[in-house]
């Protein structure tokens, strides 16, 4: 019976953009996307959002409540935008862990921060959000910016984040979401499926990765669904803030 159950688990499918793939293959496919775009990731973020992603991240930091001496985990930290600011806030008595499942992104982030002279209170850890390799009740703040939609089992990741937070600790999920205006939604679709892949091809010679980006955003849970998922995982006082008309939403939850 156990062998039969394991066989069934191995055959389960999940979405990779609009494709259906075996769950065991999704992490590798996502890794290939980010390996392809890592070197031009920051440039593409600035072009795709006209620089607005910096404002979204600044609001995330403000609502995190980070303080001097805090211990902070930045999951899917990529090229280190949030980590750099958190490092400045927590100071020499605090610690920031930049974690990413993708070695290419982690390397780019580490090199970028070292080049800027930011390293004293930062650790770099290659880690899977679903199975975080940290002790229980360890962090004051956990953030994941534009990473949750790429996780295969989002519920497992949310429970893992809850586990490593201290009681009273805060999780902030910054992610693309669902526009609240029908006209904006239509314009956003045209941009996502026509302009974005073309831009990706011109800048990174990779249209497919940015086509996946657009598809993965559409497959991600909407604002209310993600709020319910966070509550189900055990977070309390879960709220969200729509930004840029709901194109991006910032969810916040507290560990009881």
**pTM summary value:** 0.84
Q: How far apart are CA 103 and CA 100, in angstroms?
A: 7
How many angstroms separate the CA atoms of 56 and 174, rounded? Answer: 8
Spelled out in words, what is the top-level CATH class assigned to the domain 49-178+222-254? alpha beta
User: Which residue would you say has higher pLDDT here, 249 or 21?
Assistant: 249
Q: Give the whole-angstrom CA distance, residue 253 versus residue 136.
A: 17
pLDDT at 45 over 80: no
Q: Tell me: is residue 127 an annotated ligand-binding position.
A: no
Yes or no: say if 24 and 216 are a contact pair by the CB < 8 Å rule: no
Instruction: Judge whether 100 is annotated as a binding position.
Output: yes
Closest by Cα among 172, 119, 127 to 146: 172
- pLDDT mean across residues, the chain: 86
Please state the domain extents for the chain: 49-178+222-254
79 is annotated as contributing to ligand binding: yes
pLDDT tens string 193-212: 888 878 777 777 777 777 87
Residue 3 known to bind ligand: no
Q: Are 56 and 243 in contact (CB under 8 A)?
A: yes
Banded model confidence at residue 47, pLDDT cuts 50, 70, 90: low
Q: For 117-167, what is each residue's pLDDT tens digit? A: 887 999 999 999 999 999 999 999 999 999 999 999 999 999 999 999 999
- Strand pairing report for 95-100 and 71-75: parallel
b/e code 102-123 from CB counts within 10 Å (16+ = b): bebbbbbbbebbeeeebeebbe
* 17 DSSP 8-state letter: T
């Amino acid at each position: 019976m156990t062998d039969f159950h394991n066989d069934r688990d191995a055959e389960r499918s999940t979405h990779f953009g609009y494709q259906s793939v075996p769950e065991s293959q999704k992490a590798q496919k996502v890794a290939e996307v980010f390996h392809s775009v890592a070197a031009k990731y920051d440039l593409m973020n600035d072009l795709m959002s006209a620089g607005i992603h910096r404002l979204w991240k600044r609001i995330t930091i403000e609502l995190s409540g980070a303080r001097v001496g805090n211990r902070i985990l930045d999951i899917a930290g990529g090229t280190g935008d949030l980590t750099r600011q958190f490092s400045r806030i927590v100071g020499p008595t605090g610690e920031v862990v930049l974690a990413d499942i993708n070695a290419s992104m982690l390397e780019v982030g580490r090199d970028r921060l070292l080049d800027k002279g930011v390293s004293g209170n930062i650790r770099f850890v290659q880690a899977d959000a679903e199975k975080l390799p940290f002790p229980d009740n360890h962090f004051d703040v956990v953030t994941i910016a534009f990473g949750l939609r790429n996780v295969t089992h989002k519920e497992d990741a949310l429970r893992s984040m809850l586990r490593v937070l201290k009681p009273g600790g805060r999780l902030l999920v910054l992610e693309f979401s669902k526009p609240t205006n029908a006209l904006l939604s239509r314009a956003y679709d045209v941009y996502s499926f026509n302009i974005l892949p073309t831009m990706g091809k011109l800048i990174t010679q990779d249209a497919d990765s940015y086509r996946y980006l657009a598809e993965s955003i559409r497959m991600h849970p909407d604002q209310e669904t993600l709020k319910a998922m966070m509550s189900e995982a055990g977070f309390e006082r879960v709220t969200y803030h729509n930004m840029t008309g709901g194109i991006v939403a910032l969810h916040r939850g507290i560990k009881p």
